[in-house]
Amino acid sequence: MTKQPRLALGRVQKRNLFAHVVEDLGTRIIKGDLTPDDPFPIEADLGREFGASRSVIREAVKSLAARGLIESKTRTGIRVMPPTHWNLLDPEVLSWRYGAMPPVQFYGELFEIRLMIEPQAAALAAERAQASDIAEIAEAFAEMTKVSPSSTAAIDADLRFHRAILAAGKNALLHQMGHLIAVGLYISHQTSSDSFTVFLPQHGKVLDAIRARDPQAARRTMEKLLNETREFITGHLKNGKRKARNS
C-alpha cells in the first residue's frame, strides 16, 4: 500500500477512506500506471483492493470523473481518459502531477503560463484596482517584509500578494489562476527559500506601479519578477541543489 507523498499546501489533514481512494487512483492515473488502453478494474475489485465498500469506490470514481481523469459507463466499465481531457488546473490534479513529473519540466510549464497571465493581470490591476484591493496588496507585501523567509508564513504572504493582484484585475477567471500560482510558490520556496528575500524588492516595485496606476510599469515589473524567479529556481533545480523531496 504505497502511501504517495502529496503536495501539502496547507496542513496535511487526516484522510478518510474516500480521500485515500481518490488520491491513490488519481496518482496512479497521472503517473501512467493506468492508461486509457488498460482495462480499468471494476468497482467490485477496487472495493476488495482498498478494503472499501462499493459506495466509497463509486464516490471516488465520481470525484475523479469530475476532474476529467476517468469516465464510467454502464456495461463498458471505467475508462481512463486521455491526458488532454484532464482538468490540469484542478488543484488536486496539479499536485498529483507535480509528484509525477521531473520538477524542472513541471516548473517550466507552470512559469510559461504564469508569464502569460500575471504581467497582464498586474496591468489590469493598475487600471481597475479599488482602494481596498490596493490595501490588500500592500498589506500582503508588508507581511512579506516581516515574516521569516523560510517559514510557511512566507509562502502564505507571497501567495496572498499575487492573489490580491489577480483579484484586483476584476476577472473571475483570472482570479481562478491563483491555484497555479500557489503551486508555483510552493515549489519555489521548497527549492530555495533564498528566492524570497532576493526578490522581495521586486515585489515592492510591482506594488508601486499598481499604486501609481501605471499599467505598463506594472506589466514590466511583474514580468521581470517572474523571469528572474524562474531563472533563479530553475538554476537551483538543475544543479540538484533542491531540498530532498519526501519520496
Contact 93, 69 (CB under 8 A): yes
Instruction: Decide if residue 17 touches DNA (CB under 7 A).
Output: yes
State the amino acid at position 208 in one-letter form. D
State the amino acid at position 161 in one-letter form. F
Instruction: Decide if residue 113 touches its own copies (CB under 8 A).
Output: yes
Q: What is the rounded distance in angstroms from the CA atom of residue 153 to the CA atom of residue 143?
A: 9
Rounded to a whole number of angstroms, the minimum distance from the CB of residue 160 to DNA is 25
Nearest to 167 by CA among 132, 143, 201: 132
Contact 71, 219 (CB under 8 A): no
Rounded to a whole number of angstroms, the minimum distance from the CB of residue 206 to its own copies is 17
Bridge partners for 70 per DSSP: 80
Q: Which is nearer to DNA, 43 or 139 (CB)?
A: 43
Give the DSSP H/E element, type plus range, for residue 11: none
Nearest to 119 by CA among 200, 177, 201, 194: 177
Q: Which is nearer to DNA, 3 or 146 (CB)?
A: 3
Q: Which is nearer to its own copies, 156 or 196 (CB)?
A: 156
Q: How distant, in Å, are the alpha carbons of 34, 149, 202, 229 from that of 198? A: 42, 10, 8, 9
Rule CB under 8 A: choose which of 55, 132, 148, 151 binds its own copies.
55
Residues 42-101 that bind DNA (CB under 7 A): 42-44, 51-56, 58-59, 61, 72-78
52 binds, among its own copies, DNA, none (CB under 5 to 8 A by kind): DNA
Residue owning grid cell 484542478 = 90
Instruction: Decide if residue 109 touches its own copies (CB under 8 A).
Output: yes
Contact 140, 167 (CB under 8 A): no
Instruction: Decide if residue 44 touches its own copies (CB under 8 A).
Output: no
Residue owning grid cell 502511501 = 3
Provide the total of helices (H) and of strands (E) in the chain, helices listed first: 12, 2
Q: Which is nearer to its own copies, 127 or 228 (CB)?
A: 127
Q: Which is nearer to its own copies, 101 or 153 (CB)?
A: 101
Q: Which is nearer to DNA, 5 or 51 (CB)?
A: 51
Rule CB under 7 A: choose which of 16, 130, 148, 227 binds DNA.
16
Instruction: Decide if residue 235 touches DNA (CB under 7 A).
Output: no
Spatial CB neighbours of 102, under 8 Å, sequence gap ≥ 6: none
Q: Which is nearer to its own copies, 124 or 209 (CB)?
A: 124
Instruction: Decide if residue 88 touches its own copies (CB under 8 A).
Output: yes
Write out the residues near DNA by the rule CB under 7 A: 16-18, 40, 42-44, 51-56, 58-59, 61, 72-78
Write out the residues near its own copies by the rule CB under 8 A: 18, 55, 58-60, 62-68, 83-84, 86-92, 109-110, 112-113, 115-117, 120-121, 124, 167, 171-176, 178, 180
